[in-house]
Amino acid sequence: MYVKCKFNLTHPISQLQAMLMYRRTTLNTLPHFLRHTLALSLVCASSTVLAVPTYSLVDLGALGNGTSTGMDVNNQGQVTGYSQIGSYQHAFMGDADSGLTDLGTLGGVHSYGTGLNNQGQFVGYGYTANNSEVHVFMGDASSGLIDLGTLGGRYGYGQDINDAGQVTGYSFNSAGRTRAFIGDMDGLVELGTLGGVNSYGMAINDLGQVAGNSYITGNTATHAFITDANRALIDLGTLGGSTSWAYGINDLGQVAGASSLLNSNDVHAFVGDVNALVDLGTLGGNYSQANDINNHGQAVGTSKTASGQFHAFVWDPFLGLQDLNELVGDLTGWQYLHTASAISNNGYITGYGVTSSGKMHAYLLQIDTPNQEVPAPSSLVLTLLGLIGLVARRRKH
């Protein structure tokens, strides 16, 4: 049988595995013919299903005449990050209409915005008075920066905040070890490790699950983790290499990150959960990293291209890995988009790129078709997913 496909997807099996994560099913539980038939149906779905989105690009500018970096974006298109003012970095909030607003500091010279929720609450870290310590902070437009302190050491780094106002990050404790934490306005609670000396919280979802990285027993490598209902760390493993890192998590417990490969110096972006990690490949180079994942399973990050330049990417289970520089309708004023740091559930993307003048600026991307949803799979895919359920039920009995 010959089927003409409009799109050539390079990793149909990986995309199939990503779709099956929603059903808590892995490829090795499926008969051989179902695996490959379903993968083929993904590749050869109709052009309507696999319509590639295009984006409008907004330069968010900078505080003063310096650089800026977008770190997180919410469903309202608000962005947090940090921007250079003279020799210092200050946290900011901003959007496409108002530009950037300086959030100030905790009394020291630097502050960094790292996470943002849909209520407009932000999290980050900053130097305190005399610049002798770095503390976690959270806040909003009315409260300003609220110092949450540390786990007992001199340095703490807030990384993400969920819609309930829970935060995560990592901090030195009183014993001099670095530990992931979960916390809120009432304080920070230390999480454990995967058996090694240090752990790092990087993202938190609305269920309070934390994703991050921890040294494993023996301290030979770090592995990505996700916490369970009791806040114990679950090792997510790797893509075959020794090391993995988690940077984002959605409300389905799906994680975005990067991992080394077996017998290779390459590092590849992944999405996954407690059952499996899916290799997203690269844009032609030997490195990629996924920084965030939304509730539709769409991930964003950065990848080396064949020329060795880093380009921002977006990935979803239907379309695979896409260079965001090729999806922007008008790149006037920019050399290229380097990194995508975050993606909201309705498709806003932020990160940073290099402008025509050579400066690094934060950007905001918005899908040209408002409220575009991740499309439903073709009828063939739905039929085969039904067969998968039937096979799974028969195997249980």
Percent of the chain with pLDDT over 90: 78
Q: What is the per-residue pLDDT across 194-204, written as a single tens digit (0 to 9) for each? A: 999 999 999 99
pLDDT, position 255 = 98
Give CATH 2.130.10.150 domain extents, the chain: 54-372
Mean pLDDT of 351-356: 98
pLDDT at residue 377, rounded to an integer: 44
Instruction: Indicate the pLDDT class of residue 51, thresholds 50, 70 and 90.
Output: confident
Question: What percent of the chain stands above pLDDT 70?
Answer: 80
Position 283 pLDDT exceeds 90: yes
User: Looking at 195-204, 328-337, 366-375, which range is the least confident one?
Assistant: 366-375
What are the tens digits of pLDDT across the range 287-317? 999 999 999 999 999 999 999 999 999 999 9
Q: Around Cβ 64, how many Cβ atoms within 10 Å?
A: 15
* Section 382-387 average pLDDT: 44
Mean pLDDT of 21-37: 48
pLDDT score recorded for residue 21: 58
Mean pLDDT of the chain: 87
Chain center to CA of 347: 13
Q: Are 283 and 321 in contact (CB under 8 A)?
A: yes
Tens digit of each residue's pLDDT (9 = 90 or more) over 227-253: 999 999 999 999 999 999 999 999 999
Using the predicted structure, report yes or no on whether residue 135 has a pLDDT greater than 90: yes
Is residue 6 pLDDT above 80, yes or no? no
At residue 273, the pLDDT reads 97
**What pLDDT is recorded for position 364?**
98
**pLDDT at residue 15, rounded to an integer:** 53
Give the pLDDT mean for 384-392. 42
> Does 3.60.15.10 match the CATH number of domain 54-372?
no
Predicted confidence band of residue 65 (pLDDT cuts 50, 70, 90): confident
Residue 130, classified by CB atoms within 10 Å of its CB into exposed (0-12), middle (13-18) or buried (19+), is exposed
**For range 173-182, the mean pLDDT:** 98
pLDDT of the residue at 14? 55
According to the model, what pLDDT value does residue 17 have? 59
> What integer is the mean pLDDT of 132-144?
96
**Burial readout 14-39 (b: 16 or more C-beta within 10 A, e: otherwise):** bbbbbbbbeeebebeebeeebbeebb
Using alpha carbons, select from 116, 183, 113, 192 the residue that is nearest to residue 149: 183
CB environment 148-185: b (16+ within 10 A), e (fewer): bbbbbbebbbbbbbbeeebbbbbbbbeeebbbbbbbee
23: phi then psi, degrees, rounded to nearest 5: -100, 10
Residue 176's alpha-carbon distances to 151, 156, 182, 262, 292, in angstroms, are 10, 12, 18, 33, 29
Tell me the pTM: 0.85
Give the pLDDT confidence score for residue 52 in this predicted structure.
Answer: 85
Mean pLDDT comparison of 27-31, 380-384, 388-392, highest-scoring range:
27-31
- What value does the mean pLDDT take over residues 150-156? 98
pLDDT tier at 16 (50, 70, 90 boundaries)?
low
Residues 6+ away with beta carbon under 8 Å from 318: 15, 42, 45, 49, 50, 374, 375, 377
pLDDT (tens digit per residue) in 101-120: 999 999 999 999 999 999 99
Q: Which residue has the higher pLDDT, 122 or 371?
A: 122
pLDDT higher than 60, residue 169: yes
Tally: H helices and E strands in the chain:
3, 28
